[in-house]
C-alpha cells in the first residue's frame, strides 16, 4: 500500500547550504551471468561502470554477478539508513543508466505529498495579513456602492477640515499654548 503521509519540502541537514554531500552511499548491481533479463545490466557494467566510478568517487559501486539472481536488481543504500531495491529486469543500457542516475540524485527520504510549497519555522507574531488590517473598522458598515469615497486615513482628512478655533482648543487642552498667545492670535 502506498504511503499517504504528507509534509513540507525539506533538505537533509540543510544539505547544499555550505557544502553538498551526496546522500547515496553505495549501489549494488545484482544480476545473472547468463539470464536474458540481465543483458542490459551486463552491457552497462561493461560500458558505463568505470565512467560512473570515475565521475562519482564518493559512491561505492558493487557488481555482484551470480546464478541465484534470476531477476536483476539495483540496491541503493543512503546515508540515513534507507535502502531502495529497484528491479531492472529487461532494461537496456540507457534505462539502467537512467535508474542509476535517479538513485544518485535522491536523498533517501520517503516521497511524501507536499502540503505547501513554503514553510517557516517562525510564523508571524502579528497574525495573518488581510486587506483591511490597517483600515478603520467603520469601512465594514458601509453599503456598496457608496456616494462618499472611502477615506483610507480619515485622521488626516479630519485635521485638514478643522476650523482654526477647534485647533486652538485642542492645543490648549494639550498644554501647548497659553491663553495669552491665543488671544494675541485672534486679534
Torsion-angle region of 66 (φ positive above 0: left; ψ -120 to 50: alpha; else: beta): beta
Interatomic CA distance for residues 100 and 57, integer angstroms: 14
Give the tens place of pLDDT for each residue, 89-114. Answer: 999 999 999 999 999 998 888 877 87
The domain ranges of the chain are 19-109, 137-180
Candidates 3.40.630.30, 3.30.200.20, 1.10.10.60, 3.40.30.10; CATH matching 19-109: 3.40.30.10
* Distance from the first to the final alpha carbon of the chain: 92
Q: Can you read off the three cell numbers belonging to residue 21?
A: 554531500
Burial class (CB in 10 A: 0-12, 13-18, 19+), 91: buried
Give the tens place of pLDDT for each residue, 18-65. Answer: 778 889 999 999 999 988 999 999 999 999 999 999 999 999 999 999
Amino acid at each position: 500500500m502506498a504511503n499517504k503521509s504528507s509534509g513540507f519540502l525539506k533538505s537533509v541537514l540543510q544539505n547544499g547550504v555550505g557544502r553538498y554531500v551526496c546522500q547515496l552511499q553505495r549501489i549494488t548491481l545484482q544480476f545473472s551471468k547468463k539470464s536474458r533479463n540481465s543483458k542490459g545490466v551486463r552491457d552497462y557494467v561493461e560500458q558505463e561502470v568505470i565512467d560512473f566510478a570515475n565521475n562519482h568517487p564518493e559512491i561505492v559501486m558493487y557488481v555482484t554477478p551470480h546464478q541465484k539472481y534470476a531477476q536483476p536488481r539495483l540496491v541503493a543504500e543512503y546515508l540515513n539508513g534507507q535502502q531502495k531495491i529497484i528491479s531492472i529486469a529487461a532494461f537496456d543500457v540507457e534505462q539502467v543508466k537512467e535508474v542509476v542516475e535517479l538513485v544518485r540524485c535522491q536523498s533517501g527520504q520517503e516521497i511524501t505529498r507536499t502540503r505547501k510549497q513554503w514553510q517557516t519555522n517562525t510564523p508571524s507574531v502579528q497574525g495573518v495579513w488581510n486587506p483591511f488590517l490597517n483600515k478603520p473598522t467603520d469601512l465594514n458598515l458601509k453599503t456598496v456602492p457608496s456616494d462618499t469615497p472611502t477615506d483610507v486615513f480619515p485622521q488626516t482628512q479630519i485635521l485638514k477640515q478643522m476650523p482654526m478655533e477647534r485647533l486652538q482648543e485642542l492645543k490648549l487642552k494639550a498644554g501647548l499654548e497659553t491663553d495669552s498667545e491665543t488671544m494675541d492670535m485672534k486679534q
